[in-house]
Chain A
Amino acid sequence: MFFEKKSKSDTRRNDETAAVQQPVVESRSLDISVNRAKKGGQAVIGATVKIKGEVVSDEDIAVEGLIEGSIVLKNNELLVGSSGRVHADVIAKSIKVDGELHGDVEVSDRIVISSSGSMRGNIQAPRVILEDGAKFKGSIDMDEAAPAKAFGVVSNAAPEAKAESAAE
């Protein structure tokens, strides 16, 4: 079981590495170079790619290059790879930072800063996970149940969101 899981993970990593090493230039609405791994899957911003502006996507994005500006991935994940640099405000479902992220982030599920990752900025997220060695400087808002606390009202939304993230 363990080996199966590991080999799947390795395969995925190899795919991503290949995608990074051989970027395919595709002109889309933005003048950016992306390699789309598969439809509805993950777009990889290659190590030599620099983007300035607003990036909006309905698929996961893995950044090995540089993005400056803003990123909106409402229902998807942003992965900042080990060589990736994101200097942008980000709205996403979840974020994993193996490289560098400077900016304010709003996440509906979780943000993970790995041992090689560094982040500066403000975080709004139900779950913040910092691995040993992760660098973080900035603010974390802890106001999930703010309306209930402020007005003494029991909110239905917050517990549901919590239950979902706990189940994962």
Chain B
Amino acid sequence: MSANALALHHGEPPQKSVLKSSLLGGALPEGTNQTRPAKILNFGGISSESIDALRAFFWGRLTVLDALDSGAYLNDLLNDPDSDRERSTVLEELFAPAIGQAYDLVLLWDFAGFFCEANLPWLDTWLDALVTRDGYVHGFLCHNSTRKIERKEWGIHSKSEFSCKPLEGFLAYQHLRNQFSRHIRSFVIEKSVLLKDGRLEVLLKRK
């Protein structure tokens, strides 16, 4: 059992750790190369540390959806054919800060892991609407479906590093690369890197 898993087990706050990313740096807009303010959409929450890290090199607007806690509920609503009205209210609330905007980079983190395979096309539709023509989507999939993936809270530590903190529980759905690609039809996985915890870090670009 890892030190953080032990800490969770004993009810102590888990420690943040820093992970190197080979893909994030290539996707993050960098001020010195920008000719216009860029836009980043973060499906997760945000910390002071991530804001300070972004300020060091990024010029533009960061939009925070803080949507990860609503993922499971949204998946249930998408599976319920009688929830039309409630679903549209939840979606409107969830995506309010981003509606009508297009982003150069979407940070999906583990958001796809809340949705069953049948609902991935719904995610594709939203991503298609939210990403600019040359934009990227960054997120995590799963390399091996037999290994359970712990939930984590992610952040940006530097241009090429994540910060992450373990959360209780496991991802509900572990999508493999091919399975994900079949349903996210507007995008292609341009690069992917296997992480130590069994996640597959992916960078998607428009087809």
Contacts and interface: CB of A to CB of B under 8 A. Distances in A.
Contact of A149 (B31, B45, B51): B31
B62 A137 contact: no
A36 to B, nearest CB: 33
Contact of A136 (B37, B45, B55, B58): B45
A146 B97 contact: no
A143 interface: yes
Interface stretch (A13-21, A67-75, A87-95, A127-135): A127-135
A154 interface: no
Nearest to A112: B48
B65 interface: yes
Interface in A57-84: none
Contacts of A143: 37, 59-61
Interface string B25-67: 0000001101101000000011110010011001111111110
B183 to A, nearest CB: 27
A142 B61 contact: yes
A141 B54 CA distance: 11
A145 B35 CA distance: 13
Contact of B47 (A122, A130, A135, A139): A130
A140 B51 contact: yes
A142 B46 CA distance: 14
A128 to B, nearest CB: 5
B59 A145 contact: yes
Contacts, number: 60
Contacts of B32: 149
Nearest to B46: A136
A138 interface: yes
A143 B39 CA distance: 11
Given A130-B47, A130-B51, A146-B59, A139 B64 contact: yes
A122 B101 CA distance: 14
Contacts of A140: 46, 51, 61-62, 64
Contacts of A138: 63-64, 97
B97 A139 contact: yes
A139 B46 contact: no
Tell me which of A129, A131, A139, A150 has the highest count of chain B C-beta atoms within 10 A of its own C-beta.
A139
A128 B59 contact: no
Interface of B: 31-32, 34-35, 37, 45-48, 51, 54-55, 58-66, 96-97
Interface of A: 120, 122, 128-132, 135-146, 149-150
29 contacts: A120-B96, A120-B97, A128-B48, A130-B51, A136-B46, A136-B66, A137-B66, A137-B96, A138-B97, A139-B61, A139-B62, A139-B63, A139-B64, A140-B46, A140-B61, A140-B62, A140-B64, A141-B60, A141-B61, A142-B55, A142-B59, A142-B62, A143-B59, A144-B55, A145-B31, A149-B31, A149-B32, A149-B59, A150-B35
